[in-house]
Every structure is written in C-alpha cells, then in structure tokens.
C-alpha cells in the first residue's frame, strides 16, 4: 500500500469508516479495499477539494488508489465496471445475510453488529457505479439501523428483539455526532412487527453510525463466514447453500419474442444478470446465481423483467 494518509480533515468525517474498512480489506479483498477508497475519494471531492488540508489528504488518497490499481493489474473487477459492481454487491450482501441470519436466530454479538454495519458501508461504496437499486437502498438502511439498535441493547444490558422490527414512518437522524446514536436505552420500539424480506425492509434515515473499537468484523470474506456465535471465535467454515430457489417452469415454456422486440438496454440488463451470476458462483453462492440467471432468462424470453 502507498504511504500513510495524513490526519483525516474534520470535513471528511463521514468517510472515516469507509477508509477504515478499506484498511481492513487490503489483504482480505483488495478489490473491496479499492472501491471503499474510491468512494471516499469521490465523496471527499464533493465535500471540499479546495482547502489545503483537504487537498493534501485527497492527493495522498489518490496515490493509494493508483498504487492499489497497479497491484491489481488486469483484474476484471477493476477494468470492467459491471464485474466490479457485482463483486462489491455480492460481498456486501453476503455480510448482510450472515448478520441477518444471526439476528433472526437470536445470536447477538459484536461480529454480527460489525457485519451489519460493514454491509451498509459497502453498499455506500457501490454507489461509485451509479444509483443503488431500491432493494439495496433498503438493505443499507436496515443494516445501519440494526447495527445501532443491537449495539444499544447490548451496551445497556437489554436483550435485543430478534429479527425484523416495524420502523415504518419513524424518523431516525444523526444530527449530532456519530456517538450520539448510541445514547439510547436499547429498548425495542413498541409497534407491530414487519415481515422483512429482501425488498421489504423497514425504513429509517440513519446516515452514519460509529461502531465501537472492540467490535471487529469477521476476519474473512463473505464466502467464509464464522459459524460460531461467540464474539472472539475465529473458526471459519463455508456455508452450505440453503433455500435455493426452484426455476419457474413457465420460463421454459414461454416462446422467445425475437431479437426485434428486445432493446439494447434489455441486452445490457441480461448481460448484467449473467455477470452477477458468474460472480456469485465464485463465492459458491448458488442462491444468488440461480436468481440472477432466472432474471436474465425471463428478460430474454418475455422482454420483461
């Protein structure tokens, strides 16, 4: 990695955790580290690129990006945006699903908190490729809220409520500093539970939280998540694919509409889904691969998503 960065200017506080995540992933997953830094760079440029301390910081950060880009060479995840986008998204959702499964099982620990929060940071980084899908916007909001809520509960000796909690209509902000978000009682809100599924996530508008120094992320990639429920465990295992979706038989029976009915945008979307599927298979994520292949097949045979 390039020379150390100078002290973080106060103006760039919003990206401090993205940069920390980049450092944590320099050896674990350099592609993720690269895009976390790229997100911090782009965000910093928008905030302040003129003051001397910010210009100096951004210059050094740019040096780090160039060094990392040279180290990665001809890596497809760097040279091809669609592959890079799939890589970061799959990594983020792997972390999210690990934390969500631990939450639903009532296993509350620091690794799970950090995984929720890191997933939200990586979904921030995904915006370097363009706007997030509505589903990923909701994933990010839910992950950030859950990290805060569970941390507050454990901090105050309260047992968190497992699984989804209805948050519709609530207004959660971080008008004060990041630590202010951890000043709550940890009590779960009293309202009817929601039925969280991907694409149906309770909404909030947290825009940043601080995970305490002792809450370390799992020292592994999303494809190698810890199976232990203990905070300090480092035992690693590959997850067994579960709930693999069945292929809709109607997709095989629907006659193709013909190339004349498919637009250039349709072909681009189908290619994107196939790329996502290929990237998911690199992580042995059969569920995600099948879902994306089904989307591509439906689009090519019906002309509709």
Which domain covers residue 168, as residue numbers? 80-182
Confidence tier at 249 by pLDDT (50, 70, 90): low
61 shares a domain with 33: yes
Q: Which two tokens stand for residue 39?
A: 């997100």
Q: Which of 182, 198, 230 is the last residue of a domain?
A: 182
Q: Say yes or no to pLDDT of 242 above 70.
A: no
Last residue of a domain, one of 23, 52, 77: 77
CATH code, domain with 101: 1.25.40.270
- Is residue 57 a contact partner of residue 65, using CB atoms and an 8 Å limit? no
User: Is 71's pLDDT higher than 70?
Assistant: yes
Residue whose token pair is 């020379």: 3
Give percent of the chain above pLDDT 70: 66
Identify the band that residue 212 occupies on the pLDDT scale cut at 50, 70 and 90: very low
- Confidence bin at 130 (pLDDT 50/70/90): very high
Q: Provide the token pair at 89.
A: 């998204």
Indicate whether 167 and 102 sit together in one domain. yes
Is 119 within the bounds of a domain?
A: yes
Mean pLDDT score, 155-175: 66
Question: Considering the chain, what is the average pLDDT of its residues?
Answer: 74
Tell whether 203 is covered by a domain. Answer: no
The predicted pLDDT at position 274 comes to 85
- Predicted confidence at residue 21, as pLDDT, reads 97
- Can you give the pTM of this predicted structure? 0.61
Question: Band of the pLDDT at 233, cuts 50, 70, 90?
Answer: very low
Distances (CA, A) of 50 to 42, 57, 124, 236: 14, 11, 24, 46
Residue 50 has pLDDT above 70, yes or no: yes
Range 235-264 average pLDDT: 49
Task: Kindly tell me if the per-residue pLDDT of 141 is higher than 90.
Answer: yes
Same domain flag for 88 and 178:
yes
Q: Is 69 contained in some domain?
A: yes
Instruction: Note whether 235 and 228 are within 8 A (CB).
Output: yes
Measure the CA–CA gap between 258 and 283, rounded to whole angstroms.
34
30 lies in the same domain as 67? yes
Q: Report the domain count for the chain.
A: 3
> What is the per-residue pLDDT for 191?
32
Average confidence (pLDDT) over 114-139: 96
24 and 71 inside one domain? yes
User: How much is the pLDDT for 248?
Assistant: 55
pLDDT of residue 236: 29
What does the pLDDT read at residue 166? 55
What phi and psi values does residue 201 have, to the nearest 5 degrees?
-100, 135
Assign 227 to helix, strand or coil. Answer: coil
Digit-coded pLDDT (tens) for 263-300: 877 777 788 778 777 766 765 678 788 888 888 888 88
Question: Is residue 225 assigned to a domain?
Answer: no
- Which helix H or strand E contains 119, and what residues bound it? helix 110-125
């Amino acid at each position: 990695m390039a020379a150390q960065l100078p002290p973080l200017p106060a103006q760039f506080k919003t990206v401090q955790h993205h940069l920390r995540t980049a450092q944590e992933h320099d050896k674990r997953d350099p592609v993720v580290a690269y895009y976390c830094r790229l997100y911090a760079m782009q965000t910093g440029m928008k905030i302040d690129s003129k003051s001397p301390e910010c210009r100096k910081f951004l210059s050094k950060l740019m040096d780090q990006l160039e060094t990392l880009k040279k180290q990665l060479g001809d890596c497809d995840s760097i040279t091809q945006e669609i592959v890079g986008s799939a890589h970061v998204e799959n990594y983020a959702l792997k972390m999210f699903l690990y934390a969500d499964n631990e939450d639903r099982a009532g296993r509350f620990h620091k690794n799970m908190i950090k995984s929720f929060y890191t997933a939200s940071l990586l979904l921030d980084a995904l915006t370097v490729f363009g706007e997030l899908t509505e589903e990923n916007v909701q994933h990010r909001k839910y992950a950030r809220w859950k990290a805060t809520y569970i941390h507050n509960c454990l901090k105050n000796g309260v047992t968190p409520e497992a699984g989804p909690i209805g948050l519709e209509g609530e207004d959660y902000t971080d008008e004060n500093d990041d630590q202010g978000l951890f000043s709550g009682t940890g009590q779960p809100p009293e309202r009817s539970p929601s039925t969280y599924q991907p694409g149906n996530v309770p909404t909030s508008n947290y825009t940043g939280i601080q995970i305490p120094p002792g809450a370390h992320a799992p020292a592994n990639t999303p494809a190698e998540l810890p199976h232990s429920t203990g905070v300090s465990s480092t035992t690693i295992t590959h997850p067994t694919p579960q709930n693999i979706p069945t292929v809709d038989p109607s997709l095989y029976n629907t006659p193709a509409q013909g190339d004349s009915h498919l637009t250039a945008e349709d072909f681009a979307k189908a290619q994107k889904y196939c790329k996502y599927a290929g990237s998911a298979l690199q992580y042995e994520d059969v569920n995600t691969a099948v879902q994306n292949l089904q989307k591509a097949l439906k689009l090519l045979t019906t002309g509709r998503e």
